[in-house]
Amino acid sequence: MANITSITSRIQSYDNTFTGDYGSVNQRTMKRKGWEEACEYVNSVHPAAVATTTIVNGSPSVNTESFWGLDHFKPNIRDTILAGGSLVPYKCTKTDFLKYVVFVNEKIFKFSTVSDSYFEMAKGASEYFSASYYFEQVGDTTNHDDAESDGESYVDNY
C-alpha cells in the first residue's frame, strides 16, 4: 500500500519545497482518495479486468461476500469494511483463495486474478492520485493536474 513516506516523496517530486507538513490535509482521506481514483482509472481503461460494486446498508450491492473476498476476514474486520470509510487493499496469493481486492470508502474493486498486474497498476498509481488530492486541497492546480496526469500515464504505460 502507498504509505505516507512514498506519497510525501511523490509530492516532493512536484514541489521541492514541500517539507512533509500536511497541515489541514487529512492524510487518511488523501490515501483513500488516491486509491479510489487509481482503481477508478484502472477500471476505466481495463473494464473487463475489474469488477466493482458499492456497499449499501452494510453489504455489497451485488454478488456474495465470498465473491468479493470478504469471507477471508474475521467478522469484526469484515464489519468494519462493510461500515464504509475504510481503506483495505487486499492481495491474497494462496492457492484456491486468490484475490486482488481494494475496499475503499463505500466501494469495492475486485481485480482479475489472471495476473496481479491490474492490482499493481492501482497500487502504483495511488501515490500519484494521493499527491493530486493533496495539491487539490492546497489550491495548487498545476501540480494537481500534473500528478493526476502522471497517475493516468502510470496505468496507461504499465
In a domain, 14, yes or no: no
- Confidence bin at 122 (pLDDT 50/70/90): very high
- pLDDT of 77 reads 96
Closest by CA to 126, choosing from 41, 49, 44, is 41
Counting other chains too, the contacts that 86-93 makes at CB distance below 8 Å and 24 or more residues apart are 87/1, 87/28, 87/31, 87/32, 87/35, 89/1, 89/35, 89/119, 89/122, 89/123, 91/116, 91/119
Cα 98 to Cα 133: distance, rounded to the nearest angstrom: 31
Buried b (16+ CB within 10 A) or exposed e, 111-144: beeeeeebbebbbbbbbbbbbbbbbbbbebeebb
Using CB atoms within 10 Å of the CB of residue 94, give its burial: 0 to 12 exposed, 13 to 18 middle, 19+ buried.
exposed
pTM attached to this predicted model: 0.95
| Domain count of the fold of the chain | 1
In a domain, 17, yes or no: no
In a domain, 106, yes or no: yes
- pLDDT of 128 reads 98
In a domain, 38, yes or no: yes
Is pLDDT of 17 > 70? yes
- Confidence bin at 127 (pLDDT 50/70/90): very high
Looking at every residue in the chain, the average pLDDT score rounds to 95
Over the stretch 73-113, which tens digit does the pLDDT of each residue have? Answer: 999 999 999 999 999 999 999 988 899 999 999 999 999 99
Is pLDDT of 115 > 60? yes
In a domain, 4, yes or no: no
In a domain, 95, yes or no: yes
- pLDDT of 96 reads 86
Is pLDDT of 1 > 80? no
In a domain, 123, yes or no: yes
Over the stretch 53-76, which tens digit does the pLDDT of each residue have? Answer: 999 999 999 999 999 999 999 999
Enclosing domain of residue 60 = 26-156
